[in-house]
Amino acid sequence: MQRIFYNFDLLNDLISSEDIENYRGRIAKAEIALEKGTGVGKEALGWLKFPEKITETEIENIISKAVRFRKKANFLLCIGIGGSFLGAKAGIEFLSNSFDELRKNRVLFSGNNFNSDHMFDLLELLNDKEVVVNVISKSGTNTEPSVSFRIIKEWMEKRYGKEESAKRIIATTDSEKGSLLKLAKIEGYETLTIPQNIGGRYSVLTPVGLFPFAFSGIDIRKIIFGAKEAMDFCSGNKIEENLSSQYAMIRNILFKRKKRIETLAVMQPHLHYLAEWWKQLAGESEGKNLTGIFPSILNYTADLHSLGQWMQEGTRNVFETFVTLKNTSHTIQVPSFLDDIDEFNYLAGKSMEEINNVAYDGTRLAHHDGNVPVSTITLEDRTEETLGQIFYFFQKAIALSGYLFNLNPFDQPGVEAYKNNMYALLLRPSYENEHKKIRIRMKELNIELR
């Protein structure tokens, strides 16, 4: 069953049938390169077939570990950054109660910043809670999660003792190498494996996302099932039969029309971190070789009262992809008041979804009339199957889009620039010469070290 849909009818006056015909060959070539593993980055294509390759034994192993850890504590602290954080956060937010921090089986996240106040507040929150930890890193070398884990590890060992603390920590990492794997073996942590041929931002459907999902009570079998369903309608060389190729094609045509920024405008609060996950997926996959679409996100209707002004009348270098939800999990109607002092009785009896749908219709028409190219991704509901489908849809679409840009959508060489500067300034071992060079460089630029 297909649970996600892509509509670009409002682009008919901008994108012609001839434009689409001109892309057929390019889309087919990109699809074949992915499916046959002949394109750049072919060593990182494990995500492409993973939903149908993951075994029942592997799924049961993830679930059983999650159940055992949940018996120890009702708070799971996930430590990771980028793809080791955003996908799990997105899925849990998509499926959970809006105020789930007040409920049991809560998953919290750390390791994505350097901030003492944030860490202090986290430890204060956890001080009277039962806690287990999932540290997530393929290599174990990213500084943000490594620093956070050092602090959390010390806190756990002081609280529970070294032996019991080790029983409360599980590492999701590489199966053969890396500093986190080495640490896990020395300390006796349980482990889950990140497949070697899957990069971080494409890893949400692996144990990276599946373990936190399972801990929070989400049915991961249904997520995998939804992703497998998406493999059917996100595959094939024909544009009409491949939803991911449609989205990839539209994005690239608009880029060639000098639309350099894509705004993913989500219409429900539960979709916010799905958009954040997409932002990393798109930005890190495409932003290289001095090209690529800049991904941004807006949360409607709230942002219509701020950035909505820019979207309506700002620089026309942007296109907008709405993400809407067809069916919410609950329905609440606007009440009727006899006095009608606020003069909103005209909405009495209407559900909040009806009003939100009208806001969407009014906004896309206004932005279309304001010369913003507009298209829409519609999600059937907030279920595990739909979540699996949207994860897979976006992964496949961004991979295809990267190939249309003639670049490798699976590496991130630019990310290393800030890391190397930071390592040098912090005097990481073997960076002594770089430290001297960067100090000279910063002095030349009159950059004062903080």
Assess whether pLDDT exceeds 90 at residue 415: no
Say how far apart CA 427 and CA 425 lie, in whole Å: 5
**At how many degrees (to 10) do helices 207-215 and 56-72 cross?**
50
Least confident window among 88-97, 150-159, 415-424? 415-424
The residues with which 192 forms a beta bridge, in sequence order, are: 172
Q: What's the confidence (pLDDT) of residue 426?
A: 72
Q: Is 142 exposed, middle or buried (0-12, 13-18, 19+ CB in 10 A)?
A: buried
From the list 71, 419, 436, 437, the catalytic residue is 419
103 pLDDT tier (thresholds 50, 70, 90): low
Two tokens, residue 122: 């986290």
Give the span between the Cα atoms of 59 and 116, in whole angstroms: 37
Task: Kindly state the percentage of the chain with pLDDT values over 70.
Answer: 98
115-135 confidence digits (pLDDT tens): 999 999 999 999 999 999 999
Question: Does residue 295 carry a pLDDT above 60?
Answer: yes
Q: For residues 173 and 180, what is the distance between their CA atoms, to the nearest angstrom?
A: 7
Average pLDDT in the chain: 94
Return the biggest CA–CA distance within the chain: 77
| pLDDT higher than 80, residue 427 | no
The tokens for 297 are: 């996100």
Identify the CA nearest to 420 among candidates 409, 433, 407, 411.
433
Quick one: pLDDT at residue 99?
A: 78
Residue 308: pLDDT band with limits 50, 70, 90: very high
- Residues 6 or more apart in contact with residue 270 via CB below 8 angstroms: 93, 94, 95, 96, 98, 325, 382
Q: How would you class 434 by CB atoms within 10 Å of its CB: exposed for 0-12, middle for 13-18, buried for 19 or more?
A: middle
**pLDDT-based confidence at 242, cuts 50/70/90?**
very high
Instruction: Encode pLDDT of 185-202 as tens digits.
Output: 999 999 999 999 999 999
Query: What pLDDT, on the 0 to 100 scale, is given for residue 105?
Result: 55
Q: How far apart are CA 79 and CA 228, in angstroms?
A: 28
Complete DSSP assignment for 12-80: TTTS-HHHHHHHHHHHHHHHHHHHHT-STTGGG-GGGTHHHHS-HHHHHHHHHHHHHHHHH-SEEEEE-
Say if residues 405 and 394 touch (Cβ distance below 8 Å). no
pLDDT grade for 102, boundaries at 50, 70 and 90:
low
Q: How far apart are CA 403 and CA 392, in angstroms?
A: 17
Mean pLDDT of the 270-298 span: 97
Burial 273-288 (b: 16+ CB within 10 A, else e): bbbbbbbbbbbbbbbb
In 3-state terms, what secondary structure has residue 408? Answer: coil
Q: Give dist(CA 24, CA 29) in Å, integer.
A: 9
pLDDT value of residue 437: 82
Query: What structural domains and CATH numbers belong to the chain?
Result: 4-39+237-404 (3.40.50.10490), 47-218 (3.40.50.10490), 418-444 (no CATH)
Cα-to-chain-centroid distance, residue 38 = 26
Average pLDDT over residues 75-101: 91
pLDDT value at position 37? 96
pLDDT-based confidence at residue 93 (cuts at 50, 70, 90): very high
In what helix (H) or strand (E) does residue 96 lie, and over which residues does it extend?
A: none
Residue 88 in this model has a pLDDT that exceeds 90 = yes
Give catalytic status of residue 284 as yes or no: yes
Task: Give per-residue pLDDT as tens, 323-376.
Answer: 999 999 999 999 999 999 999 999 999 999 999 999 999 999 999 999 999 999
Whether 138 is a known active-site residue: answer no
Q: What is the spatial order of strands in the sheet that 4-7 belongs to?
A: 4-7, 374-379, 318-325, 261-266, 294-299
Instruction: Mark whether 305 is an active-site residue.
Output: yes
Order of strands across the sheet that contains 190-193: 106-110, 75-79, 131-136, 169-173, 190-193
Strands 374-379 and 4-7: antiparallel
Given 93, 262, 276, 284, the catalytic residue: 284
| Angle (nearest 5°) at CA 312 between 277 and 278 | 5
The phi, psi pair for 350, rounded to 5°, reads -85, 145
With tokens 């005097």, the residue in question is: 427
Helix (H) or strand (E) holding 136: strand 131-136
Residue 187, class by beta-carbon neighbours within 10 Å (0-12 exposed, 13-18 middle, 19+ buried)?
Answer: middle
Residue of 163, 256, 258, 305 marked active site: 305
What average pLDDT does the segment 404-412 reach? 95
| Section 37-54 average pLDDT | 97
Residue 17 phi/psi, 5-degree rounding, is -65, -30
Host H or E run for residue 262: strand 261-266
